Amino acid sequence: MSETIFLGRVLSFDRRCAGAGDETAFTYEEDGAVLVRDGRIIAAGAAEAVRRQAGAAQVVDHRPHLIMPGFIDTHLHFPQVQVLASWGADLLDWLNTYTFPEELRFADAAHSARMAGGFYDGLTNHGTTTAVAYCSVHSESAEAYFAEGHKRGMCMIGGKVMMDCHAPEGLLDTPQKSYDESLDLIGKWHGTGRMHYAISPRFALTSSPEQLEAAGALVRENPTCFMQTHVDENVDEIARAKELYPSAKDYLGIYEDYGLLNERALLGHCIHLTEREVGVMAETGAAPVFCPTSNLFLGSGLFDEASLRAKGIESGIATDIGGGTSYSMLQTLNEGYKVLQLQQQQMHPYTAFDWITRGNAEVLGLRDDIGTLEAGSAADMVVLDAGATPEMRLRQERVESLAEELFLLMIMGDDRAVAQTYVAGVAQK
């Protein structure tokens, strides 16, 4: 039994903040501590009270930095670590020119394993301790993804993409092969350590009706698995989806028709939703995922968070590497803040940090394990330094409140502001 006390300013959100004046949605201790035993949080709060619960614990002193739950990224692509920062006109051009050719390389297990190392280092260097990723069509890529995440003790979600048309030959499976390989991966990895499987039909443009049928069967037969896909990201993509599936009511209607939507479904982008589609999301519990750096980079459009919230729909927020341009959830908040500003929607720093921790955990239905510093949760934590660069230190001189400090972190911060990342109590940096 190993016990460690982490000292610092401890911050964890209990619920979504109602707004600027709402100081009751989180727990914050200036002189705080987190007690960890065998990778799990035993207690977090005022240092004196936490110390009383500790035995002969090792002490790690992070004062005066902030200790928070590790960040959660609800949508990104493992085989796109070398696609990030590729110049492209728009989604379909970018996919065909850079992304599909790059993903061909992941047929090779050795390449997949090497990329997995870089991918996970990228996550934890930026304070991310859980992520939901698409692998390539090749089982080799999913094996590398899960093996590396499992080795590091992380809570990770992912799946091989199912795609059987309108892409290079080497990226295509068949309805039967995609069903069989997904099922094998589910059997091997879903519930192994902290791994979860996401059934992953890439999007309607690269799946035949027979393959979407197979994906629907997987969803029906594996109710504890996640389902992830893309919808309503780009206007040309939407037009093509309607051409390919003329009998569907709309783009989301395609996935609806094949039984893919439920409360474990994660829908990337959701920028150009119709009113009917918003209604379907509210009814089925499928969650939209906001990918601000990607939506700006690919010129896809502005995610309308407030309209979804008005219908009771909680969104995830994510990097979408490599359409997205940074591994950093802090930089994701920075760009997300601006996307919402353009629509006269405000993102308060409390709301922002709640979103990338508890909020995303709630969207995944994994709040018992991740997203807060509550007793019983895994000790997945990030240590943040708002004075990490000379420019941040200068700005910090004028910071007078926790909200101002958080805002500085989300606007100016990146991996340099991440002093340490812990996965199940183990330091990663």
Under the binding rule (CB under 5 A), the answer on residue 79 touching Zn ion is: no
* Selection from 305, 341, 374 nearest residue 15 by Cα: 374
Q: Is 190 in the site for ligand GUN (CB under 6 A)?
A: no
Which of 93, 283 has the CB closer to ligand GUN? 93
The owner of tokens 């903040």 is: 17
Query: Can residue 77 be called a binding residue for ligand GUN (CB under 6 A)?
Result: yes
Between 37 and 230, name the residue whose CB sits nearer to ligand GUN: 230
Q: Does 141 bind ligand GUN (CB under 6 A)?
A: no
Query: What is the closest distance, in whole angstroms, from the C-beta atom of residue 223 to ligand GUN in the complex?
Result: 25
The residue type found at 155 is C
Residue 79 interface partner, choices Zn ion, ligand GUN, none, CB cut-off 5-8 Å depending on type? none
Residues 142/159, Cβ–Cβ less than 8 Å: yes
Q: How far is the CB of 93 from ligand GUN (least distance, A)?
A: 12
Q: Determine the Cα–Cα distance for residues 405 and 409; give it in Å rounded to an integer.
A: 6
For ligand GUN, the closer of residues 225 and 267 by Cβ is 267
Using CA atoms, how far apart are residues 266 and 203, in angstroms rounded to an integer?
12
Residues 210, 212: Cα–Cα separation, whole Å: 6
Q: Strands, DSSP E only, in 153-271?
A: 155-159, 161-162, 195-201, 226-231, 265-269
Q: Which of 138, 230, 272, 348 binds ligand GUN (CB under 6 A)?
A: 230
Q: Does 203 bind ligand GUN (CB under 6 A)?
A: yes
Helix (H, G, I), strand (E, B) or coil at 361: helix
| Residue 336 touches which member of Zn ion, ligand GUN, none, C-beta under 5-8 Å by kind | none
272 binds ligand GUN (CB under 6 A): no
Among the listed residues 348, 135, 251, the one whose alpha carbon sits nearest the alpha carbon of residue 146: 135
CB 204 within 8 A of CB 241: yes
Residue 300 or 377: the one with the smaller Cβ distance to ligand GUN is 300
Residue nearest to ligand GUN (CB): 323
Task: Report how far apart, in Å, the C-alpha atoms of 61 and of each of 26, 34, 359 are.
Answer: 22, 11, 28
Q: How far is the CB of 190 from Zn ion (least distance, A)?
A: 21
Interface with Zn ion includes 253 (CB under 5 A)? no
Instruction: Determine, following the binding rule CB under 5 A, whether residue 201 of this chain makes contact with Zn ion.
Output: no
Question: What's the rounded Cα separation, in Å, for the pair 48 and 15?
Answer: 25
Binding mask 257-276 for Zn ion (x = CB under 5 A): -----------x--------
202 binds ligand GUN (CB under 6 A): yes
Task: Decide if residue 420 touches ligand GUN (CB under 6 A).
Answer: no
Q: Which is nearer to Zn ion, 250 or 320 (CB)?
A: 320
Question: Does 211 contact ligand GUN by CB under 6 A?
Answer: no
Q: Which is nearer to Zn ion, 229 or 334 (CB)?
A: 229
Question: Taking the complex as a whole, how short is the minimal distance between the CB of residue 376 and ligand GUN, in angstroms?
Answer: 35
**Rounded to whole angstroms, how far apart are CA atoms 339 and 154?**
31
* 325 part of the interface to ligand GUN, by CB under 6 A: no
Find the angle CA(175)-CA(155)-CA(309) to the nearest 5 degrees: 80
Residue 242 burial (CB < 10 Å; 0-12/13-18/19+)? Answer: middle
Rounded to a whole number of angstroms, the minimum distance from the CB of residue 362 to ligand GUN is: 24
- Residues 178/164, Cβ–Cβ less than 8 Å: yes
State the Cα angle at 100 between 95 and 102, rounded to 5°: 115
Q: Which two tokens stand for residue 130?
A: 């859980």
Q: Which residues bind Zn ion (CB under 5 A)?
A: 268, 320
Q: Which residues bind ligand GUN (CB under 6 A)?
A: 77, 91, 95, 99, 202-203, 230, 233, 294, 320, 323
